[in-house]
Structure 1
Amino acid sequence: MSQAVRVTDLLAAARAASGFMPDDEGRALYEAARDVPVPGPLLEVGSWMGKSALYLAAAARETGRRVVTVDHHRGSEEHQPGWEYHDPSLVDPAVGRIDTLPRFRRTIAEAGAEDVVVAVVARSETLAPLWSTPLALLFLDGSHTEESARRDQDAWVAKLAVGGTLAIHDVFPDPADGGQAPYGVYRRVLASGEFEELPDTGSLRLLRRTT
């Protein structure tokens, strides 16, 4: 099977996978990861059941990189009982808590992406102090509370290489369209003067690190 077919299959698997990323945003994420001009891995904060990881995996397959996904797989606030996106089928009855890791692993395995996706089961702020490799692309899509979004920003943005790409999902300037925590990350990053904006797609914002 040719590399082009494998990449096409990964993109098709990404479109079909369960998750919250529209295909136009997923394709934009894939293209940003494919085209990033500096060496290094691709790192995703917040993986849910693996949909966005497959878009990144397609780029990694095409360019010879690896994708590292960081998620505790216990779900964000909105996934807990009584909240809007709670799915009882994801609760592990042995511990009574959300556990998306089995679904994530199945998504990656069924797509044939286990060779390019490295899953780390941990909170992002726990892994970050142990991480020293400059990142080519950082995708922030973790919990969307103000506290956790700031924590992810503080933990990981400084690890992005100059020339690398920062991707932020669910950025909604209008509060009527969605939560404001990712938008706050986007505004703070821009205000730092260390990034320039790239074309956006839907709620996905892309920025290139310049200094």
Structure 2
Amino acid sequence: MRLLPVTIAFALGVMAGACGGGGGGGVTNPPPGTTLGSIVPAAATINLSAGQRQAITMQALDANNQPIAGASGYAYSSGTPAIAVVSTTGQVTALSAGAATITVSLTLGNVTKTATVTVQVTGQLPTTATVAAGGNSDDFTPNFVAIARGGTVTWTFGERIHNVEYSSVPGAPGNIGPSSNTTVARTFGTGGTFGYICTLHANQNGTVIVP
């Protein structure tokens, strides 16, 4: 297997499992005369089933409680990554039942503000998942799945030829060679974030997360 660029932060290390997310922050210069007053999530609580993911949406407000256009550079971290992890872009992935607190921070100029989002997770991760490889297009659908350790992902191939090549991550299963009109399954017995691509088509990629 050859080392692939991580495009889904791991994704995903998009998801920095060891620390539950984070990164992606930094200092953003505000418009002249603007002072960061607070940051507010669009939803204070996110309800997900294990295996689902959702993006956190934030709004930066100035000292007069007015929106700051174009604010960027939010940093995210999960207090309980065994329950939910968060990527550097704010994508939350639910992994097990319980509640996790996502801390979001933003620095504009020399002012830093933080906010929290509660993620409520129900259910358990599935042990199986199916990914359609291409059909008549150059994509994987869905291009992201989360399954329980020891679970199996099955790729279905239509007439158009695709392959599956994993990044060089410990525990990644064997690659799938060029295939069409067939199904191929791979079992994931090791935890990790496993990015993969089709080397035959540009920008065709996917991710499997196994806690």
- Between Structure 1 and Structure 2, the one with more helix by share is 1
Larger Rg over CA atoms: 2
TM-score, normalised via structure 2 length: 0.28
TM-score, normalised via structure 1 length: 0.28
- Between Structure 1 and Structure 2, the one with more strand by share is 2
